[in-house]
């Protein structure tokens, strides 16, 4: 799995919002400028995050974006799946599309274990974890594991 620009920009945008004082609505143009991200592209990404109820948008002169739920309830997996859809580590080696997890597949066990591990890791880390310790990239939550 390779993180796309869409995923990278989504995570960066959400983290920027998470670092703001509670209730501060932030304009898309501010986020795009600070994060050095194309504004129109970020707008499309943020629409997906609003649809997934990760962000809330406000229109008008006091408009902008805020997190729609507490930082400790937004996982990295939620952000990724909001902009990319369900995560699959592999494509089926036998049929077209994602792995069907058919037990007759020789790689079934390997892919199933790897998939579980990936999703578990992405579910374990929240936005709160990521903003707590920007210097090391690891929070107290991650270090305690």
pLDDT in tens, 71-84: 999 999 999 999 99
pLDDT tens digits along 98-116:
556 565 677 777 888 888 9
- In the predicted model, what is the mean pLDDT of residues 116-120? 93
User: Dihedrals φ, ψ of 38, to 5°?
Assistant: -60, 125
Euclidean distance between CA atoms 110 and 25, whole angstroms: 45
Helices and strands: H and E segment counts in the chain: 7, 2
Euclidean distance between CA atoms 131 and 118, whole angstroms: 21
Of the candidates 80, 87, 95, the residue with the CA atom closest to the CA atom of residue 125: 80
What is the three-class DSSP state of 22? coil
- Residue 89 has a pLDDT of 75
Euclidean distance between CA atoms 48 and 43, whole angstroms: 9
Residues in the chain: 145
Question: Where is 127: in which H helix or E strand?
Answer: helix 127-132
pLDDT tens digits along 14-45:
999 999 998 899 999 999 999 999 999 999 99
Domains by residue range for the chain, with CATH? 5-143 (1.10.10.10)
- In the predicted model, what is the mean pLDDT of residues 54-63? 94
């Amino acid at each position: 799995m390779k993180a796309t620009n869409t995923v990278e920009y989504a995570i960066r945008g959400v983290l920027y919002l998470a670092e703001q004082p509670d209730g501060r609505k932030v304009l898309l143009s501010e986020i795009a400028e600070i994060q050095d991200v194309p504004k129109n592209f970020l707008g499309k990404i943020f629409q997906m995050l609003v649809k997934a109820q990760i962000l809330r948008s406000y229109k008008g002169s006091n408009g902008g974006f805020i997190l729609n739920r507490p930082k400790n309830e937004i996982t990295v997996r939620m952000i990724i799946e909001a902009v990319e859809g369900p995560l699959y580590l592999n494509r089926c080696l036998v049929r077209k599309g994602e792995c069907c997890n058919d037990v007759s597949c020789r790689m079934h066990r390997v892919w199933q274990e790897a998939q579980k591990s990936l999703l578990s890791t992405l579910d374990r880390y929240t936005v709160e974890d990521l903003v707590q310790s920007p210097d090391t990239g690891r929070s107290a939550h991650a270090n305690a594991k």
